[in-house]
């Protein structure tokens, strides 16, 4: 099987000139942003392609200065880039100059998608099962074999994909789109302009258990999930309903695939989490944070605004200060790792040996008792309310 | 969007007095447990709320002594708490005294849920696809667009949610409830009184492959999954069928979301696993264990009863002794982590340097060769049977 | 609940002799492989069971020499094993001798499954929703309540399970089987002879976002997913569509459950990944690699052919050399871990103290500045194209 990936061609009917695209981007970016064109405005463009694989009928972009070296050799017909990089562009390549080329590229992909993808047909598919007490806004599209339970409310122009399940009294905001096979539990609320991918489960029970001598007794999860506007949620991600109050996801939050958000978590506005990360119960995460892929944040913590957690790291204490935090074991060849791992389990002893050597040599005390503790983790079934 | 979360109100028709609730809890907890009321028994209650946010018409609880300081300032109308904490309660607040307030709170949530949530209607939804050879017990509820395959058996009063799929010859125990979009594979057996959340997949094939020079050859997974009574399984969690024998989940096991249980794993009774944790193939976990969120247990191991694995830890060897085990890299600011991580990769060398210094100074040998090895991990596609 | 697991019996009508099975395996393994029978060829066999639990009417196998000690005590009627192990077999036990017993066992399970599992009935279930422009090959089976969108193409003898969703213009190869509730997004392509388990989501959007002062702006994911032949994908695993070009999965790749493959990843032929592992965006993984359970590979990296990553390890840099790589924190009792973790956060300082002691004693410089850096992780929402 060939492994090349060639970018996306535009159907012939949508082929545009560089000048037309510049106008499209200017309009999409809005007032304060300027898009200036330099070079041949009449050049015909029919594909978006990466710099190193673009042909003369493709438009490409340079956002990350790290890739600036690719500019000189590109065969792209047009490139979106910042004015500072303009000089590196080959002769004959049309430049679309703008202060934030990555933002402009994002708008270009949106324009492209709108032209190449059919819009879902409004209306209720005849095989959908819609309770007569559900309320559907104007322009709503309900896919094949979807189920809308009693009292649910679907906002104007929202799209409910095939085979979705919307629980009773749940509310979906205007223009929000659900891919096929999304589950939204009863009483849960999703804002406007959202996008939920297949396999997402909103409002399953949080993991609340009271340990007794006869085993665990279930704590019914009486809260729900409230999700703000412009939230995107990746495939197979789960957001649990709260134990008493709600689990709350702020406006503009972006979640990747296979993420776990436990009960009563609060995520601040415009926080983004990469795939396979997780937030344990009752933790409050600030605004504009990024949580790397596979990272885990333990329960009952507070994470400040603008905290960035590296991939695969474990957050076991509250973080009051913005910044980048990291904690994963550095990879090594297996043999070296084994040697270092064994030694690591004796690290405390090694420090005492160094201290003994220092004492023997009359070194001044350079090793006060550590004051920062690596907080141990709570057992997983710990009480999560009060 | 507001982020406050306010607890759950009871509909007006269900408003109760503190004395009525005390009787409810006494009855739910059963014989040996006593619930004593002190203060105004006639006080009307219409919400369950956390101590720090409760109003005068709310009942709250204190389970974790850590939160005892919240008692003095609470405005709750009634509080469930242990006799030892009674003195800290403000005047005018009704006390429901019981030895295990968290257990009582759990029973309260169950009573609350039963009053506020409509019971699923018994019967088969007309859009469900039920094979004529399937056997349905009395009082069974089959949701819209569910599929029940040939020979499947659904126990009395069980609830199969909308859009579920029950494979041929699968058996679901009495009173067990499946949320929408659960998949139970052929031949798999689930006990009574269980609860499976949306997106759960029971009985997909285990990951069994024979490596050959022409690539992997599939080992058909000929076993099934057997799940005991009173088991709860969180959203999007997977339990694979066994290669030859079955994967076995004991009575009272509680699994959170996005958990992976590989083929031929055995989980002992009343073991609980938090979200995103995983058990690799053929590992046997004892009873009453807790596995923290994101933790991973490698394959072909034996974990004793009453072992507690902290969140995000990796279990790479069998554990014969009860206790709490931990192993994750402590979080640090990124710059400090980088410095320590680089040094960590030279830790073995550092130990040798300390040993050399000790030798030079004539210290007695304090550093025998380590005898505990950090067991390396098996390759993922290793044989899992014999 | 009993926890024993007893292997799978063959229905009476399929009971076979050891000699018949030898012929079946010889035929399945093909030309160059020899299966020799020693002992009673007429012995009747009606179950496959592990060596230590097999009875006289069961066939078992020995693949891993580690389990050779089980041979002497086995009560199995027949055993598949290598000629070198033949002498350890008890008298009266029939031997099926072959150079690769694990491969032979795999073929045996396939033969067994084909005899004991009903084949899906060809044809379209009357409740399925199939767009009239979809093209179905000969012998195709479409399950109950499945949805096949416009322009989709299902290859000959493919099986689409109940409640699956095949997006518009998607293509499923000949003989590929989808378990119930699989989602394949529009434009995605799956090769022949594949197997996708329940909850798999192919072609959800990759996690592409342009950060701006007003929050993230979505980068529409204009590529698709292309999957080769003979690929198996475990339950609830996600493979995202590419941003510009496609995400590409090579022939013979095997993925376990709950795996995340981000946009524009390329996986080489015959690479296998265990459960809960993940590959971040644009990373290229070579052929015949194995990625252990829970392991994570960061984005924009290149992993050579024949690299083996241990379970729970983090790959934060490109790997040019084949071999086994590991990086997870070794488990310890919680108290020891706490002590070592605190010390670990001062490791860099500890090294400086050792260096000071060495200088004081006039040791030669043994500690050059490290040249291998532990690459920090990129923030999760970093640009993934150029």
Is the pLDDT at B344 greater than 50, yes or no? yes
pLDDT digits (tens, 9 = 90+) for C307-316: 999 999 999 9
φ and ψ at B153, to 5 degrees? -135, 125
Residues of B whose CB is below 8 A from C106? 208-210, 217-220
List Cα–Cα distances, B32 to B26, B29, B99, B100, B342, in angstroms.
9, 8, 10, 12, 58
Sheet holding B94-97, edge to edge: B8-9, B47-48, B58-61, B78-81, B94-97, B36-38
Tell me which DSSP letter residue C263 carries.
Answer: T
- CB contact at 8 A, C182 and C219: no
Which tokens is B211 given? 């490596």
* Greater model confidence, B168 or B32: B168
Q: pLDDT confidence of B30, banded at 50, 70, 90?
A: confident
Q: Nearest 10 degrees: CA dihedral of B256, B259, B264, B267?
A: -30
The shortest CB-CB distance from B49 to any of A244, A328, A347 is to A244
Residue A44 confidence (pLDDT): 95
Residues of B whose CB is below 8 A from C251? 215
Cβ within 8 Å, pair C183-A199: yes
| Chain C residue with the nearest C-alpha to that of A126 | C129
Residues of B annotated as catalytic are 263
- CB contact at 8 A, C221 and C241: yes
φ and ψ at C7, to 5 degrees? 75, 175
Residues of C whose CB is below 8 A from A331? 309, 313-317, 325-327
- CB contact at 8 A, B293 and A359: no
Q: Nearest 10 degrees: CA dihedral of C98, C99, C103, C108?
A: 0
pLDDT digits (tens, 9 = 90+) for C295-309: 999 999 999 999 999
Residues of A whose CB is below 8 A from C167? 180
Residue B8 confidence (pLDDT): 60
* Lowest mean pLDDT segment, chosen from B176-190, B370-384, C187-201, C267-281: B370-384
Architecture of the structural domain at A123-270? 3 Solenoid (2.160)
3-state secondary structure A80-134: EECHHHHHHCCCCCEEEECCCHHHHHHHHHHHHHHHHCCCCCCEECCCCEECCCC
CA–CA gap between residue A84 and residue A75 (Å, rounded): 20
pLDDT digits (tens, 9 = 90+) for C305-362: 999 999 999 999 999 999 999 999 999 999 999 999 999 999 999 999 999 999 988 8
CA–CA gap between residue A377 and residue A317 (Å, rounded): 9
CA–CA gap between residue B342 and residue B355 (Å, rounded): 21
Is the pLDDT at B87 greater than 70, yes or no? yes
pLDDT digits (tens, 9 = 90+) for A209-255: 999 999 999 999 999 999 999 999 999 999 999 999 999 999 999 99
Is the pLDDT at B380 greater than 60, yes or no? no
> What is the per-residue DSSP string for A273-305?
E-TT-EE-TT-EE-TT-EE-TT-EE-SS-EE-T
Chain B interface mutation, best of C9, C53, C59, C106, highest count of B Cβ atoms under 10 Å = C106
Cβ within 8 Å, pair A240-B236: no
Cβ within 8 Å, pair B183-C195: no
Is the pLDDT at B366 greater than 90, yes or no? no
Residue A1 confidence (pLDDT): 34
Is the pLDDT at C12 greater than 80, yes or no? no
Is the pLDDT at B386 greater than 70, yes or no? no
Q: Which of B107, B98, B88, B17 is nearest to B59 (CA)?
A: B17
Average the pLDDT over A56-75 and give the result.
92
| Chain B residue with the nearest C-alpha to that of A354 | B354
Which tokens is C42 given? 């007429």
Tell me which DSSP letter residue C258 carries.
Answer: S
The rounded radius of gyration (Å) of the Cα atoms in chain A is 26
CA–CA gap between residue B358 and residue A353 (Å, rounded): 9
Rounded to the nearest angstrom, the minimum Cα separation between A10 and chain C is: 10
pLDDT digits (tens, 9 = 90+) for C35-44: 999 999 999 9
- CB contact at 8 A, A245 and A224: no
Pure H helices in chain C: 18-29, 101-116, 334-344, 347-360
The shortest CB-CB distance from C316 to any of A234, A331, A337 is to A331
Q: What is the distance of C-alpha C296 from the center of its chain?
A: 15
**In chain C, what are the helix, strand and coil shares in percent, each to the nearest 5?**
20, 25, 55
pLDDT digits (tens, 9 = 90+) for A134-158: 999 999 999 999 999 999 999 999 9
Cβ within 8 Å, pair B229-C338: no
Q: In sequence order, what are the beta bridge partners of C211?
A: C216
Q: In sequence order, what are the beta bridge partners of C16?
A: C45
CA–CA gap between residue A202 and residue A204 (Å, rounded): 6
Average the pLDDT over B19-26 and give the result.
95
Tell me which DSSP letter residue C79 carries.
Answer: E
Q: Nearest 10 degrees: CA dihedral of C334, C335, C337, C343?
A: 160
> Strands B195-196, B232-233: parallel, antiparallel or unpaired by DSSP?
parallel
Residue A248 confidence (pLDDT): 98
Residue C13 confidence (pLDDT): 65
Q: Which of C177, C183, C176 is nearest to C201 (CA)?
A: C183
Average the pLDDT over C225-237 and give the result.
98
Is ipTM beyond 0.90? yes
Who's near B133: CB < 8 A, 6+ residues apart?
B150, B151
- CB contact at 8 A, B58 and B18: no
Is the pLDDT at B370 greater than 60, yes or no? no
Residue C66 confidence (pLDDT): 87
The shortest CB-CB distance from C348 to any of B226, B298, B340 is to B340
Rounded to the nearest angstrom, the minimum Cα separation between A49 and chain B is: 34
- What is the pLDDT of chain C when averaged over all its residues? 91
Residue B371 confidence (pLDDT): 43
- What is the pLDDT of chain A when averaged over all its residues? 91
**Domain B8-116, CATH 1.20.120.1200 — does that match?**
no
Is the pLDDT at B368 greater than 70, yes or no? no
Instruction: Provide the sign of the torsion angle of the four alpha carbons B236, C311, A255, A24, taken in this order.
Output: negative
Residue from A33, A125, A197, A263 carrying the catalytic annotation = A263
Sheet holding C94-97, edge to edge: C8-9, C47-48, C58-61, C78-81, C94-97, C36-38
Q: In sequence order, what are the beta bridge partners of A291?
A: A273, A309
Which tokens is B357 given? 């210094």
Residue B383 confidence (pLDDT): 32
Q: pLDDT confidence of B10, banded at 50, 70, 90?
A: low
> What is the per-residue DSSP string for B19-76?
HHHHHHHHHHH-TT---EEES-TT-EE-EE--TTT--TTEEEE--SGGGGGGTTT---
Rounded to the nearest angstrom, the minimum Cα separation between C170 and chain B is: 23
Chain B interface mutation, best of A199, A217, A345, highest count of B Cβ atoms under 10 Å = A217
Is the pLDDT at B5 greater than 80, yes or no? no
- CB contact at 8 A, C107 and C29: yes
| Chain C residue with the nearest C-alpha to that of A68 | C386
Q: pLDDT confidence of A365, banded at 50, 70, 90?
A: low
Who's near B238: CB < 8 A, 6+ residues apart?
B200, B201, B202, B204, B259, B260, B261, C199, C234, C235, C236, C257, C258, C275
B143: left (phi over 0), alpha (psi -120 to 50) or beta: beta
pLDDT-above-70 percentage for chain B: 90
Average the pLDDT over C113-121 and give the result.
91
- CB contact at 8 A, B240 and B220: no
Q: Rounded to a whole number, what is the largest CA-CA distance in chain C?
A: 87
Residue C3 confidence (pLDDT): 33
* Greater model confidence, C381 or C354: C354
φ and ψ at A94, to 5 degrees? -75, 135
Q: pLDDT confidence of A382, banded at 50, 70, 90?
A: very low
List Cα–Cα distances, B122 to A266, B157, B158, C326, in angstroms.
37, 8, 9, 53
Query: Which subunits count as partners of chain A given 3+ CB pairs below 8 Å?
Result: B, C
Q: Where are the domains of chain B?
A: 8-116, 123-325
Measured at the alpha carbon of residue A302, what is the angle toward residues A300 and A308, in degrees to the nearest 5? 125
Q: Which of C28, A151, C30 is nearest to B118 (CA)?
A: A151
CA–CA gap between residue C3 and residue B268 (Å, rounded): 9
CA–CA gap between residue B328 and residue B312 (Å, rounded): 6
- Helix or strand or coil: residue C336? helix
> Strands A8-9, A47-48: parallel, antiparallel or unpaired by DSSP?
antiparallel
pLDDT digits (tens, 9 = 90+) for C150-169: 999 999 999 999 999 999 99
Chain A interface mutation, best of C244, C263, C298, highest count of A Cβ atoms under 10 Å = C244
pTM across the whole model? 0.94
Topology of C123-325 in CATH? UDP N-Acetylglucosamine Acyltransferase; domain 1 (2.160.10)
- Helix or strand or coil: residue C142? strand
């Amino acid at each position: 099987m060939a492994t090349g990936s060639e970018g996306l061609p535009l159907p012939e009917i949508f082929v545009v000139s560089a000048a037309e695209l510049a106008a499209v981007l200017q309009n999409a970016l809005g007032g304060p942003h300027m898009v200036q064109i330099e070079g041949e405005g009449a050049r015909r463009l029919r594909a978006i392609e990466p710099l190193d694989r673009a042909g003369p009928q493709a438009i490409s972009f340079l956002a990350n200065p790290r890739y600036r070296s690719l500019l000189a050799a590109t065969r792209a017909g047009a490139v979106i880039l910042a004015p500072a990089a303009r000089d590196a562009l080959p002769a004959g390549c049309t430049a679309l100059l703008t202060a934030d080329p990555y933002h402009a590229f994002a708008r270009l992909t949106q324009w492209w998608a709108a032209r190449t993808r059919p819009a879902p047909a409004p209306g209720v598919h005849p095989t959908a099962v819609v309770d007569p007490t559900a309320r559907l806004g104007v322009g709503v599209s309900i896919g094949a074999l979807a189920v809308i339970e009693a009292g649910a409310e679907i906002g104007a122009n929202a799209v409910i994909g095939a085979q979705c399940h919307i629980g009773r009294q749940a509310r979906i905001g205007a223009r929000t789109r659900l891919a096929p096979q999304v589950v939204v539990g009863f009483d849960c609320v999703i804002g406007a302009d959202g996008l939920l991918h297949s396999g997402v489960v909103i409002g399953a029970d949080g993991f609340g258990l009271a340990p007794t001598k006869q085993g665990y007794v279930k704590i019914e999860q009486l809260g729900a999930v409230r999700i703000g506007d412009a939230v995107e949620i990746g495939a197979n991600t789960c957001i649990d309903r709260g134990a008493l109050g709600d689990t709350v996801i702020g406006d503009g939050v972006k979640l990747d695939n296979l993420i776990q958000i436990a009960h009563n978590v609060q995520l601040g506005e415009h926080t983004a989490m990469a795939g396979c990360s997780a937030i344990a119960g009752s933790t409050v995460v600030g605004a504009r944070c990024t949580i790397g892929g596979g990272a885990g944040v333990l329960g009952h913590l507070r994470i400040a605004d603008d905290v960035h957690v590296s991939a695969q790291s474990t957050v076991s204490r509250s973080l009051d200060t913005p910044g980048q935090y990291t904690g994963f074991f550095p990879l090594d060849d297996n043999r070296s790792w084994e040697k270092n791992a064994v030694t690591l389990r004796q690290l405390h002893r090694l420090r005492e040996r160094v201290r003994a050597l220092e004492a023997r040599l009359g070194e001044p005390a350079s090793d006060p008792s550590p004051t920062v503790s690596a907080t141990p983790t709570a057992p997983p079934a710990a009480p999560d309310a009060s």
